[in-house]
Amino acid sequence: MNELIEKLKVKDEWALKEVMKMYKGQIFNYLLLMLGNREQAEELTQDTFVRVYFKAGSLRTDNLKAWIYKIATNLALSEFRKKRIKNLFSLGDVNEINYSYDQKLGENIIIEEALSLLPEKYKVPLIMKEVDNFSFEEMSDILQKPVGTLKSLVFRGKEKMRSKLEVQLGGNNG
Amino acid sequence: MDSREDIFKDYIKMEHLNENFEESVFRKIKNKKRQRTVMISTLGTFLLGGFLFISGTLFFQGNGDQLYTKSENSVREDVTITDNVIFAASDESNNYVIEQVGNFEEYGTI
């Protein structure tokens, strides 16, 4: 892994290809859950690896995965900000998310819809912890927040998800 | 749903990226490199242009002073208009300046 990081630092294209093989799927799914839009998620996944290539020289950690997630998270947060500004000037639904992919399990749809209604301050740590299995320490490094705050956000995020899922299942059943 | 210990335990990641994903990344990298080169060239051109402009301005400003000094120090020349009337002009170039006019017959000199 260290050799890969060293090669990445000198902008070796083979190293970038290897890194993409290792993480592109995870990053894409992470961004897809966050944004709820396939095209946007793919675009931001590409942008993540473009940044990896150009910023690898300043990489100061051995935890490559956490560093790449940090880049992806920053891009997603910036996208959320853009959406907020866009929604401020439009009459559209604030929580309107475009799911443009077709084949998936019903369970996934319910979870993704509930997740799309969750504010990003809960959504980001919840996905990192529950879907991508990061430790709170790694999350603290990536999101620049204290471990205690993150534990609380994940707990409250889960509670909000549960209540949203109950409402959705109740609505579907009724 | 209450029995659910872990909300995401049944969540299955099933989305896959396009086959040309890596190609698109390298294309973006190439474009960004080109943009950077253009930006650096443009910036360099502006800096060089600015430097040349300032140097030129300072250079010609200096020369202007010299020309003025040269004109001030140029040899005075008396030009006779008629026998009794002369005017004094200076400047060795074509730009004659009338300084004073005198009539020797009446006043001797000015």
Interface contact flag, B15 A38, Cβ < 8 Å: yes
Q: Is B29 an interface residue toward A (CB < 8 Å)?
A: yes
Q: How far is CA A86 from CA A33, A79, A83, A160, B17, in A?
A: 20, 10, 5, 25, 27
| pLDDT band of B48, cuts 50, 70, 90 | very high
Instruction: Read off the pLDDT of each residue in B14-36 and give the average, rounded to a whole number.
Output: 88
- A130/chain B closest Cα distance in angstroms: 6
pTM across the whole model: 0.66
Residue A136 scores a pLDDT above 90: yes
Interface contact flag, A47 B29, Cβ < 8 Å: no
Residue B30 scores a pLDDT above 90: yes
User: pLDDT digit string (tens) for B51-101?
Assistant: 999 988 888 776 554 444 445 555 666 667 666 666 666 655 555 555 555
Query: Topology of domain A1-78, per CATH?
Result: Rna Polymerase Sigma Factor; Chain: A (1.10.1740)
- Note the pLDDT of residue A125: 92
Residues B51 and B46: their CA atoms lie apart, in Å, by: 8
Q: Is B8 an interface residue toward A (CB < 8 Å)?
A: yes
Residues A141 and A118: their CA atoms lie apart, in Å, by: 23
Q: Please provide the average confidence, as pLDDT, over all residues in chain A.
A: 83
- Note the pLDDT of residue B3: 43
Angle, CA of A25, A27 and A33, to the nearest 5°: 100
Where in chain A do CATH 1.10.10.10 domains reside? 92-174
The dotted CATH code for A92-174 is: 1.10.10.10
Residues A99 and A112: their CA atoms lie apart, in Å, by: 9
Element (H, E) at B22: helix B21-72
| DSSP code, position B8 | T
Residues A158 and A170: their CA atoms lie apart, in Å, by: 18
Contacts of residue A69, defined as CB under 8 A and 6 or more positions apart, other chains included, come to A27, A30, A128, A132, A134, A142
User: pLDDT digit string (tens) for A33-85?
Assistant: 888 888 899 999 999 999 999 998 888 877 899 999 999 999 998 988 887 77
Residues A127 and A30: their CA atoms lie apart, in Å, by: 7
Element (H, E) at B103: strand B101-103
- Note the pLDDT of residue A58: 83
User: pLDDT digit string (tens) for A11-28?
Assistant: 899 999 999 999 999 999
Name every chain A residue with its beta carbon within 8 A of the beta carbon of B22.
17, 20, 24
Q: Is B81 an interface residue toward A (CB < 8 Å)?
A: no
Q: Is B36 an interface residue toward A (CB < 8 Å)?
A: no
Interface contact flag, A105 B29, Cβ < 8 Å: no
Residues A45 and A29: their CA atoms lie apart, in Å, by: 9
| pLDDT band of A155, cuts 50, 70, 90 | very high
Where in chain A do CATH 1.10.1740.10 domains reside? 1-78
Q: Is B25 an interface residue toward A (CB < 8 Å)?
A: yes
Instruction: Please answer whether residues B9 and A25 qualify as being in contact, where contact means their C-beta atoms are separated by less than 8 angstroms.
Output: no
Name every chain B residue with its beta carbon within 8 A of the beta carbon of A38.
15
Here the ipTM equals 0.73
